[in-house]
Chains A and B, each alone.
Chain A
Amino acid sequence: MSGYRLATGGLIDRARKVNFRFDGKSYTGFAGDTLASAMLASGVKLFGRSFKYHRPRGVFASGSEEPNALVELRTGAYREPNTRATTVEIFDGLEASSQNRGFSLKYDPLSVNNLLSPFLAAGFYYKTFMWPSGFWEKIYEPMIRRASGLGRNSGLPDPDVYEKITEFCDVLIIGGGADGCKAALDAAAKGQRVILCDENPPLAKLDLPESISFFSRTTVFGVYDGGTYAALERLNDHLPSSNAPRQRLIRIVARRSVLATGALERPITFGDNDRPGVMLSRAVGDYISRYGVSPGRNILLYINNDDAASLISTLYTAGVNIAALVDARPGSSSAVYDAACAASTPVYEGAAIIRAIGRWGVKGAKLRLSGGDEISIPCDIIATSGGFNPNLALTSHFDGEPIWDTGIAAFIPGKTPPCMEVIGKAAGHGLNANIQPCFHSGFFPGKSFLDLQNDVTVRDVNLAELEGFTSMEHLKRYTTLGMATDQGKTANVNAIGLLAKTLGRQIGEIGTTRYRPPYVPVAIGALAGAHTGKHFRPTRFTPTHEWAKAQGAVFVETGAWLRAQYFPRLGEDWLQAAQREVDAVRNAVGICDVTTLGKIEIQGPDAAKFLECVYTNSWENLPCGKVRYGLMLREDGMVMDDGTTARLGETHFIMTTTTVNAGRVMQHLEFCAQVLWKHLDVSLVSVTDQWGQIAVAGPQSIATLAKIVDFPFDLSDMSFPYMACGELTICGGVPARLFRISFSGERAYELAVPARYTHALVEKLMEAGAEYGITPYGTEALGIMRIEKGHVAGPELNGQTTAHDLGLHKLLSKKKDFIGRAMASRPALKDPKRQSLVGLRSVNRQDIICAGSHLLPLGVAATAVNDQGHVTSAARSPTFGSIALALLEHGPERHGETIRVYDPVRGGDLEAIVTAPVQYDPEGKRLHA
């Protein structure tokens, strides 16, 4: 035997050596080793420090239930804390390190916590750090967080790549052991589509038919409604970092499922049972049979059931000495006794381990024999088996309560999720032969740990019981028992057994805490998948995006869209560019891509009636070929959205919505059409992406358009006045829709073409308008002009404003039902004291009004009580200087008043004159200029 690696055996590939590092030191293992098995093979016992008391800890288990051996993997941004060394497959170059320790694993100043433990008992947070209260946030909490806790987050963005997929099957088999494989083959033989998930790497080559999709390294961690399961596949965790997806979240939709997750061993609790070298007996067997590693050379067994019989022969065959068999049962069973005799192992029946000897690793065990004598036996591993718990966590994800089975002294599944069958050991079959329950040895000179991961001792549970926390759910929250990465997989049942004994009640009466998803820790990155950063939602580009880019546009996000914000010329800043663009529109002509506004086709004999229902104003009297401004409320009377709607024909309307609300309005209209007024014959379809739309604004807009519209379309004011619309062709046959509407306040048109023509259209328009100085403008110029004109937009339609607040109450029809009519009539919503729309203009031209500033009367203190409103949108108008739209108490009555504009966030404090919302061309003469 070299080190602790056995000469033969195991499912590892001894021809392939693997080099890795732990805490900076180099180690070698074999392909197929876990970090735990490779380090055990190298003789390492100390893996980490415990959560609260910083006690030295080693490996306890061999699978995902491991409570102790938590390590950090990889380095820098790739660092992953709290990984169980028992599930980490090693690869060349793997960097792992211990966590929750001081200078080194061996010298940890915080192990003084072990001596302070009388102050760190259950609930100590709530008792010790109560006062002075101001100390909690600044001193106590940061101190406790530093001292306790598990590993460290890297603090950097996660550079790993994750994926999400969905799979469908007739049967999902959870667990790839013998029972699971048999169930999979049976289902496949019946012609069913099968998915088989197993948590472990594929050690043995499985020969499965094609109808079975086998996912190894895949843990099913949650059961959800409608036969949906969540699983995490560790695609590349066993390989060096690369750009390939690290983990994959699989959403599995299955008609039925079979739970074949086996059982997890629980220990027997005794004094100092957390020392490195105290392990589950099945784990000792696993390290020998799977990895050819014996965790020790002189192993002592402490059991209360027959499972150890096979371990005895395994150890004997492998040539590992068995120090003794300590059987908690008064009389050992023949299965175990005979195996021990065959291995020439001394057997102590009816005995108990009082405590483990050895601080850094087990050196022996102190026993109390059945007669009361105490002896010490040297050993380097104490392998303990208190029986097996069916691994039933997934059965309680639908609120199923596990049931205590006294025959096998274990919880078995109660009500399972719909269409889930539990088989084999997970159902409690073939478990715990001849078990005599023994949750703790009963003698506690030192600390006896129930929950190794959370440092919860027998004394903590007793204390919690004394303080009245006698329900398991309370006990869990008070002591933290069963929390963190292992979720008490090896801890809970012993604690329940102890509590039952203390209370003099049956375990079945006390019950267990309900298991919730996830069964194992899942990285948030895996849940997010590829939907991170800019990939969270698609970016939508306007059809003229490439053209605008070529013009040097700067872009801004509006909703999901990227729009041109301004088109700077050499040496211009954003303000100079935007003001130049405004000047061009006011004096010549400008063009702007307005495709992002929502466009909804509304057709059908009842289309006009339908608009009467959803808009506050009237529509049936709108003539064909005309456009009207419409206001839409929510049913609670608040303004939802606004826009223009054009009547192209008797039964054909085109509605526009604001950019941001396009989706919401569509959903709302569908509700109105399909649910509220389903007798109306009307059809809706969103055509936002199908039609590109360009605003052509300014006095020269008509001259520009005249060059591209096809004969015989007549642009003259007589035949196509303000608020006219029509269908036409342009540029020699391209179908188009033209709307004479204006957001800028100038004579303006919006020209819509099938989206694929939009890029060509802007080029044509630039050519046609060149002689008039045509200028592309962006959202900044658009914003300045709409504020000058007092048009409301997103900041004013904030979900808290009414039609009265915005000065749009004349649009509330008194003759018909419409969405929001009843609620909008509430007197409080019409109260003149409400903050209503006004314009503002700074008194000193150099003062800049900022959006978000508060409005106060002159000469009062800047307090919330005196606050009378706020600035919703602000602009730097080339005509008026700093102007704004604002919501102000008694707004319409206060035009001409000077008020204080107070902006504590940016240090602004200035005076402004209240004006009407429309500051530019209030009579609207320029719309016809």
Chain B
Amino acid sequence: MRIICPHCGERGLEEFTYTRDAECTRPIDGGAKLTKEWEDYVYFRDNLKGPRKEYWYHSAGCHAWIKMEREMSTHEIISVTPP
């Protein structure tokens, strides 16, 4: 797979680390209380066909985190943007 890093240009998959999906955002309530939003954020993920957003880390490159949208059934990369 080839990934276009917004900072470095096109690089091989081996320079990147996939970490997690980027479909949900961290609750901003400060975390004083455990809520359903926190449970969803930490534990629950949908595994759907179609375009999904993911966080990747350019670990063997510029150390930038990138947000990548991919088609799950074909691996086709739709977009790569800063997070």
Contacts and interface: CB of A to CB of B under 8 A. Distances in A.
B12 A253 contact: yes
Given A228-B2, A671-B19, A674-B83, 5 more contacts: A225-B2, A678-B83, A821-B32, A822-B38, A826-B34
Interface in A530-545: none
Nearest to B28: A817
Contacts of A635: 26, 41-42
Contacts of A251: 12
A166 B2 CA distance: 13
A730 B13 CA distance: 45
B33 A822 contact: yes
Contacts, number: 71
Contact of B57 (A226, A667, A821): A667
Interface string B18-38: 010000001100111111001
Interface residues of B, number: 30
Nearest to A826: B34
A419 to B, nearest CB: 12
Interface string A657-668: 000000000110
Interface of A: 166, 224-228, 251, 253, 398, 635-636, 666-667, 670-671, 674-676, 678, 814, 816-818, 821-823, 825-826
A332 B2 CA distance: 53
A823 B42 contact: yes
A226 B30 CA distance: 41
Contacts of B77: 226
A671 B26 CA distance: 12
12 contacts: A225-B1, A225-B13, A225-B75, A227-B2, A666-B63, A667-B59, A674-B65, A821-B30, A821-B31, A821-B32, A822-B32, A825-B31
With most chain A CB atoms within 10 A of its CB, the pick from B32, B35, B43, B64 is: B32
B12 A671 contact: no
B17 interface: yes
B53 to A, nearest CB: 12
A675 B65 contact: yes
Interface of B: 1-3, 12-13, 17, 19, 26-27, 30-35, 38, 41-43, 55, 57, 59, 63-65, 74-75, 77, 82-83
A676 B31 CA distance: 14
Nearest to A637: B42
Contacts of B57: 667, 670-671
Contacts of A821: 30-32
Contacts of A670: 57, 63-65
B55 A671 contact: yes
Given A253-B12, A636-B42, A818 B31 contact: yes
Contacts of A226: 1-3, 13, 77
A817 B12 CA distance: 37
Contacts of A826: 34
Contacts of B64: 670, 674
A255 to B, nearest CB: 11
B34 A825 contact: yes
B55 A253 contact: no
A676 B26 contact: yes
Contacts of B27: 822
Nearest to B59: A667
Contacts of B30: 816-817, 821
Contacts of B83: 674-675, 678
B35 A822 contact: yes
Contacts of B65: 670-671, 674-675
Contacts of A676: 26
Contacts of B35: 822
B10 to A, nearest CB: 9
A766 B53 CA distance: 56
Given A225-B2, A226-B2, A823 B38 contact: yes
Nearest to B73: A399
A822 B13 CA distance: 34
Nearest to B58: A670
Contacts of A678: 83
A793 B46 CA distance: 36
Contacts of B55: 671, 675
A226 B2 CA distance: 5
Contacts of A818: 31
A666 B41 CA distance: 22
A193 to B, nearest CB: 15
B77 to A, nearest CB: 7
Contacts of A224: 1
Contacts of B12: 166, 228, 251, 253
A675 B55 CA distance: 9
B71 to A, nearest CB: 11
A297 B12 CA distance: 55
Contacts of A636: 42-43
A702 B40 CA distance: 53
B57 to A, nearest CB: 6
Nearest to A821: B31
A667 B64 CA distance: 9
A636 B41 CA distance: 10
Contacts of A675: 55, 65, 83
A264 to B, nearest CB: 28
Nearest to B63: A670
A223 B43 CA distance: 35
Nearest to B22: A675
A352 B83 CA distance: 69
B72 to A, nearest CB: 13
B2 A253 contact: yes
A825 B42 CA distance: 14
A516 to B, nearest CB: 15
Contacts of A667: 17, 19, 57, 59
With most chain B CB atoms within 10 A of its CB, the pick from A251, A671, A814 is: A671
A400 to B, nearest CB: 12
With most chain A CB atoms within 10 A of its CB, the pick from B57, B65, B77 is: B65
A613 to B, nearest CB: 10
Given A225-B75, A667-B57, A822-B38, A817 B31 contact: yes
A192 to B, nearest CB: 18
A822 B74 CA distance: 36
Given A635-B42, A674-B65, A674-B83, A822 B34 contact: yes
Contacts of B13: 225-226, 228
A226 B14 CA distance: 13
A798 to B, nearest CB: 19
B75 A823 contact: no
With most chain A CB atoms within 10 A of its CB, the pick from B31, B34, B42, B64 is: B31
Nearest to A253: B2
A635 B34 CA distance: 12
A675 B20 CA distance: 12
B67 to A, nearest CB: 8
A22 B74 CA distance: 48
A636 B43 CA distance: 8
Contacts of A227: 2
Nearest to A817: B30
A635 B19 CA distance: 13
Nearest to B57: A667
